[in-house]
């Protein structure tokens, strides 16, 4: 067998894969290709290949590929021969969800032994979960869609203490129909009719998106059944990964509409391992074919109290906002008062921003990540943003930023920080002020290298965050305040972490 990257010519079209997306084969072009190595990498059976410079570097050995094929066959319920036979190719062509079947060893301790049900460790903190179809499709009536979604949720609420409530406000699970690139990144873009059908995110995001170019139907097989796809994706939104049980709803392959469908016992064990039975008891199984992932579900409070601050800024509403991954935490003087998706507060905001600042004289918020900048007026993204900075003096890795104002002054200056240096950024020209960078140690005495977030707060002092500690800096005297560093969580996140004065 040729040991180069392997492609198999098929008749029914190229297999498209996307994050947590249910997939169908394309049929428009009768002569297209499946990238077998790419498929095995995408779904966790082989390690992803790094960028290559020579042909030698792109070779995957026959033995390595055979092991990966054997793993896939085992997961798909086929004879685990390691031989790429017709049955294996047919299994790879099946409509399916694009989330990994096997996590890497760093993600799951038992990566080389696919589980039946798999719960990665994400769950909702409340047993009442709100939902809303904020952007429905026009291919079915809104009443039909609501009925389909209610039915899809009911599969899960029938076997757990979970309650799903429709809301006209900000939902936990936001359902949207969209096309092509819809703001989830280019690798998660929909690809038109016959490709990725839908995708969903784990808690506590939960957003579920459907490709609006599909032929959506309700309880039919002459198209794509919205209830069946929604029930699978809601499983992900509740915290379930894929199952190696082929009859399970959470198996990776789309199974079409079945009028007699019921949750498989494997689906039930999986969801009850997260939320308990209808009576609220958490269940486990001792069946030899089902094992836990080894990842304990972390309670919400410790997760918040131990989190890294990606960025921190005051907001135009007077609250303080802390960014972490896709989430933003709204803080007042006593601690956290709300937790939201950052893109629901700052539309289009990037995941894990490097820094953020608010300019109270212009009412602009700037979010920095790499060479890109997002600018908001109030909470609305300004036209033509985000922009990419081409100034060669601009730092490519920004860890923190402050909008600095001297006592008695109305002017503000934006300072950007990385490990050991800082720069002044001119927001009018989107460029670095001449004379920078300067060293942090030379100007901000007592502040360590590698700070992770910073803010000039409402009391006029500047606060620098690193790890689980923070330091208070007297802006006028340019000195570190005595008694610091202190633990950041009690002082900033409030009673959930044990309140303490700043």
C-alpha dihedral, 371 to 375 to 381 to 385, nearest 10°: -40
Higher pLDDT, 481 or 111: 481
For residue 56, give Cα distances in angstroms to 14, 35, 48: 26, 19, 16
Residues annotated as catalytic are: 233
Average pLDDT over residues 339-353: 89
pLDDT tens across 174-186, in order?
999 999 888 776 6
382 a known binding residue? no
In a domain, 32, yes or no: yes
Distance from C-alpha of 294 to C-alpha of 424, rounded to nearest angstrom: 46
Q: Is 70 left (phi over 0), alpha (psi -120 to 50) or beta?
A: alpha
pLDDT for 80 = 83
Confidence tier at 31 by pLDDT (50, 70, 90): very low
pLDDT for 131 = 96
107 a known binding residue? no
In a domain, 80, yes or no: yes
pLDDT for 424 = 93
Domain that holds residue 486: 301-497
Same domain as 332, residue 413: yes
Query: Which stretch of 76-80, 97-101, 115-119, 125-129 has the lowest confidence by average pLDDT?
Result: 115-119
Same domain as 486, residue 410: yes
In a domain, 286, yes or no: no
Tokens 């006592």 correspond to 407
Where residue 474 sits, what CATH number does that domain have?
2.110.10.10
182 a known binding residue? yes
Same domain as 93, residue 159: no
Token code pair at residue 18: 């996307």
Question: Which of these three, 221, 241, 275, is where a domain ends?
Answer: 275
pLDDT for 195 = 64
Q: Could you please report the per-residue DSSP string of 246-289?
A: TTSTTSSB-----TT----HHHHHHHHHHH--TTS-------TT
Average pLDDT over residues 257-261: 93
Same domain as 265, residue 339: no
344 a known binding residue? no
The fraction of the chain above a pLDDT of 90, given in percent, is 38
Instruction: Please state the domain count of the chain.
Output: 3
pLDDT tens across 409-456, in order?
778 899 999 989 999 999 999 999 999 999 998 888 889 889 999 999
97 a known binding residue? yes
SS3 402: strand
192 a known binding residue? yes
236 a known binding residue? yes
pLDDT tens across 285-335, in order?
332 222 222 222 223 344 678 888 999 999 988 899 999 888 898 888 888
In a domain, 295, yes or no: no
C-beta separation of 324 from 309 below 8 A? yes
Residue 68: pLDDT over 70: yes
Where residue 266 sits, what CATH number does that domain have?
3.40.390.10
Residue 484: pLDDT over 70: yes
In a domain, 282, yes or no: no
Residue 50: pLDDT over 70: no
C-beta separation of 295 from 121 below 8 A? yes
191 a known binding residue? yes
Where residue 73 sits, what CATH number does that domain have?
1.10.101.10
Average pLDDT over residues 346-363: 91
Same domain as 87, residue 147: no
The pTM of the full predicted model, rounded to 2 decimals, is: 0.50
In a domain, 341, yes or no: yes
Same domain as 213, residue 357: no
Distance from C-alpha of 81 to C-alpha of 327, rounded to nearest angstrom: 44
242 a known binding residue? yes
User: What phi and psi, each to the nearest 5 degrees, are found at residue 447?
Assistant: -90, 125
Question: Which of these three, 97, 114, 142, is where a domain ends?
Answer: 97
Residue 59: pLDDT over 50: no
Report the residue count for the chain.
502
pLDDT for 91 = 86
Question: Which residue(s) pair with 104 in the sheet?
Answer: none
pLDDT for 162 = 96
286 a known binding residue? no
Q: Mean pLDDT across the chain, nearest whole number?
A: 79
In a domain, 66, yes or no: yes
209 a known binding residue? yes
Question: Which of these three, 275, 292, 322, is where a domain ends?
Answer: 275
Closest CA to 83 of 64, 66, 105: 66
Query: Which stretch of 7-11, 205-209, 344-348, 437-441 has the lowest confidence by average pLDDT?
Result: 7-11
pLDDT for 441 = 87
401 a known binding residue? yes
Average pLDDT over residues 237-251: 87
Taking residue 135's Cβ as centre, other Cβ atoms within 10 Å add up to 14
502 exposure class (CB count in 10 Å sphere: 0-12, 13-18, 19+): middle
Same domain as 45, residue 147: no
Give Cβ neighbours of residue 237 (< 8 Å, ≥ 6 apart): 173, 200, 201, 202, 203, 206, 207, 208
Same domain as 352, residue 235: no
Average pLDDT over residues 401-407: 87
For residue 319, give Cα distances in angstroms to 331, 358, 377, 386, 453: 6, 11, 15, 23, 17
pLDDT for 252 = 81
Same domain as 307, residue 379: yes
Average pLDDT over residues 382-393: 91
Distance from C-alpha of 257 to C-alpha of 87, rounded to nearest angstrom: 23
pLDDT for 176 = 94
Confidence tier at 283 by pLDDT (50, 70, 90): very low
Q: Is there a cis peptide before residue 437, judged by omega within 30 degrees of 0?
A: yes
Q: Could you please report the per-residue DSSP string of 60-97?
A: --HHHHHHHHHHHHHHTTS-------HHHHHHHTS-EE
Average pLDDT over residues 481-490: 90
Closest CA to 294 of 74, 153, 118: 118
Same domain as 334, residue 230: no
In a domain, 117, yes or no: no
Ordered alpha helix ranges (H), 410-500: 440-443, 488-492
Same domain as 469, residue 349: yes
Same domain as 313, residue 249: no
């Amino acid at each position: 067998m040729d040991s180069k990257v392997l492609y198999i010519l098929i008749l029914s079209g190229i297999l498209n894969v996307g994050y947590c997306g249910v997939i169908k084969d394309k049929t428009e072009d009768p002569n297209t290709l499946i990238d077998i190595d790419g498929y095995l990498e995408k779904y966790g059976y082989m390690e992803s290949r790094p960028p290559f410079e020579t042909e030698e570097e792109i070779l995957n050995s026959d033995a390595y590929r055979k092991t990966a094929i054997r793993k896939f066959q085992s997961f798909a319920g086929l004879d685990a021969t390691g031989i790429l036979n017709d049955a294996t190719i047919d299994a790879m062509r099946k409509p399916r969800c694009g989330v990994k079947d096997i996590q890497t060893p760093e993600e799951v301790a038992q990566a080389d032994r696919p589980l039946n049900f798999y719960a990665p460790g994400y769950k909702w903190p409340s047993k009442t979960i709100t939902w809303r179809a904020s952007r429905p499709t026009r291919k079915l009536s809104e009443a039909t869609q609501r009925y389909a979604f209610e039915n899809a949720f009911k599969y899960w609420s029938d076997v757990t203490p979970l309650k799903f409530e429709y809301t006209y406000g900000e939902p936990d699970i936001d359902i949207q129909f969209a096309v092509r690139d819809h703001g989830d990144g280019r690798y998660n873009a929909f690809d038109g009719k016959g490709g990725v059908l839908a995708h969903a995110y784990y808690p506590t995001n939960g957003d579920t998106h459907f490709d609006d170019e599909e032929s959506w139907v309700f309880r039919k097989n002459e198209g794509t059944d919205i209830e069946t796809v929604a029930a699978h994706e809601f499983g992900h939104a509740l915290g379930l990964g894929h199952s190696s049980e082929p009859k399970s709803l959470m198996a990776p392959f789309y199974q079409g509409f079945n009028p007699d469908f019921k949750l498989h016992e494997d689906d039930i064990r999986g969801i009850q391992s997260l939320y308990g039975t209808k009576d609220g008891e958490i269940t486990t199984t001792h069946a030899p074919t089902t094992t836990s992932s080894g990842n304990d579900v972390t309670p919400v409070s410790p997760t918040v109290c131990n989190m890294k601050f990606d960025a921190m800024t005051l907001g135009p509403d007077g609250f303080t906002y802390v960014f972490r991954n896709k989430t933003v935490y709204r803080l007042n003087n006593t601690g956290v008062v709300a937790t939201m998706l950052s893109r629901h507060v700052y539309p289009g905001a990037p995941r894990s921003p490097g820094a953020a600042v608010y300019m109270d004289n212009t009412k602009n918020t700037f979010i920095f990540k790499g060479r890109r900048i997002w600018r908001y007026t109030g909470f609305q993204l300004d036209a033509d943003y985000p922009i990419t900075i081409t100034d060669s003096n601009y730092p490519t890795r920004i860890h923190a930023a402050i909008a600095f104002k001297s006592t008695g002054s109305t002017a503000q200056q934006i300072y950007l920080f990385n490990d050991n240096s800082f720069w002044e950024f001119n927001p009018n020209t989107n460029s670095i002020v001449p004379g920078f960078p300067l060293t942090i140690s030379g100007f901000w005495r007592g502040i360590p290298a590698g700070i992770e977030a910073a803010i000039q707060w409402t009391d006029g002092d500047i606060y620098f965050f690193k790890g689980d500690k923070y330091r208070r800096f007297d802006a006028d005297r340019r000195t570190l305040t005595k008694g610091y560093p202190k633990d950041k969580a009690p002082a900033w996140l409030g009673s959930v972490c044990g309140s303490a004065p700043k």
